[in-house]
Amino acid sequence: MNPTIKDVAQKAGVSIATVSLVINNHKRISSDTKKKVQKAIKDLNYYPSRSARDLVSKKTGNIGFILTDDHFLRTEPFYTRIFLGTEFEARDGEYYILLTTIKSDYSEKDPLPRFILDRSVDGVIVAGKIPEVLIDKLAKYNLPLIFVDYTSAKENFPVVLIDNIQGGITATNHLISYGHKNIAFIGGDINHPSINERLIGYKKALENAGINPNKKFISTTSPYPDRQNGYNSAKKIFSTQKDVTAVFACNDAMAIGVMHYLKDSGFSIPNDISIIGFDDVESDLMLDPPLTTIRVPKIELGAEALRLMINTLKYKNSNAKKILVPVELIIRKSTKSIK
């Protein structure tokens, strides 16, 4: 049997209330008894029981983390890194993260994650795009809900987002500063806010530089922004548009697909075509040439979400804060100045 608060109290020669006060380091406690109690705790190797604590305090100490299967199993560790960020942060904050995945095609009749139903969590973090019907169902529960890298258009929740617009501007400016004017944008479904925002940044940067965005240079018809679709989109653009000298891909996966296409078609990167991605994913470095990209601080995104959650829990802070996490230009070898 593990030691309980009683054992500690007995050993330290105080009451259990005093032990409790020490554990929660209440101010009004003499440093003398504090020491005594702390010694007893250490000697007995005592840890407070979570369930007892939770039972009385009406909290669980758990945070739910919801992700679609797709996102969790994505080849590149993007959302898993975000999860890790929350986990790291949770370790200090005395929280546990309950990770669960839902089907990407979650529908009305699918059950909610069990931790919602049996109230095993104090709040829920949702990472990445999830179906709107899930958001609706989640919203009905009186639980703090925080989004990361996605947010519902309909409702107003606290959210941690990548500064995609700025990232789009930075990426495009980099290309412009290297003398490129005919810059293609290769993206996926524009209904995804992140992709749309990166496109907005791209257009803004072009306009700022006095360059008129050319619709023929822009591909946003791919359903999903992955390698294969990057390849296909590049094919479509480059087989008709001969003036393009640079590509801004909406993420690294697509950028890699674009690179494959260009190589297959005999283009040299970056001599013939410059290319910049977005995300900064591990395999970028293994590419030939290594990919210039916009770094998204994934661990930081997750950590920020958990901090936001803890604050919400602590201060019952219900105003829907939005946190924009800045991104960073990482110049490697896939872009080249043509001035």
Partner DNA sequence: ATGAAAGCGCTAACAT
Partner DNA sequence: ATGTTAGCGCTTTCAT
Smallest distance from a second copy to CB 64, Å: 10
Smallest distance from DNA to CB 51, Å: 7
Nearer to DNA, 34 or 74 (CB): 34
Residue ranges that bind a second copy, judged by CB under 8 A: 2, 47-52, 54-55, 60, 62, 69, 72-77, 80-81, 84, 87, 91, 96-101, 114-115, 117-120, 227-228, 282-283, 286
Three-class SS state of 218: strand
220 binds, among a second copy, DNA, none (CB under 5 to 8 A by kind): none
Cα 213 to Cα 235: distance, rounded to the nearest angstrom: 20
DSSP, residue by residue, 53-101: HHHHHT---EEEEEEEHHHHH-SS-SHHHHHHHHHHHHHHHT-EEEEEE
166 binds, among DNA, a second copy, none (CB under 5 to 8 A by kind): none
Alpha helices in the chain, H assignment, sequence order: 5-12, 16-23, 31-44, 50-57, 69-73, 79-93, 114-117, 132-139, 164-177, 193-208, 227-240, 252-264, 298-315
18 binds, among DNA, a second copy, none (CB under 5 to 8 A by kind): DNA
| Backbone Cα Rg of the chain | 25
Q: How many residues bind DNA (CB under 7 A)?
A: 30
Three-class SS state of 294: strand
174 binds, among DNA, a second copy, none (CB under 5 to 8 A by kind): none
Cα 105 to Cα 67: distance, rounded to the nearest angstrom: 12
Smallest distance from a second copy to CB 11, Å: 19
Smallest distance from DNA to CB 317, Å: 19
Q: Does 10 bind DNA (CB under 7 A)?
A: no
Spell out the SS3 assignment of 8-39: HHHHHCCCHHHHHHHHCCCCCCCHHHHHHHHH
235 binds, among DNA, a second copy, none (CB under 5 to 8 A by kind): none
Structure tokens at 260: 């494959």
Q: Does 182 bind DNA (CB under 7 A)?
A: no
Smallest distance from a second copy to CB 227, Å: 7
Of the listed pieces 12-20, 109-117, 303-311, 331-339, which binds DNA according to CB under 7 A? Answer: 12-20
Cα 108 to Cα 24: distance, rounded to the nearest angstrom: 43
15 binds, among a second copy, DNA, none (CB under 5 to 8 A by kind): DNA
Smallest distance from DNA to CB 171, Å: 49
Q: Which residue has the tokens 């370790």?
A: 91
100 binds, among DNA, a second copy, none (CB under 5 to 8 A by kind): a second copy
Nearer to a second copy, 113 or 168 (CB): 113
Q: Does 313 bind DNA (CB under 7 A)?
A: no
In contact, 165 and 197? CB cutoff 8 Å: yes
Smallest distance from a second copy to CB 223, Å: 17
Cα 71 to Cα 77: distance, rounded to the nearest angstrom: 9
17-56 residues near DNA, rule: CB under 7 A? 17-18, 20-21, 23-24, 27-30, 32-34, 46, 48-49, 52-53, 55-56
In contact, 22 and 33? CB cutoff 8 Å: yes
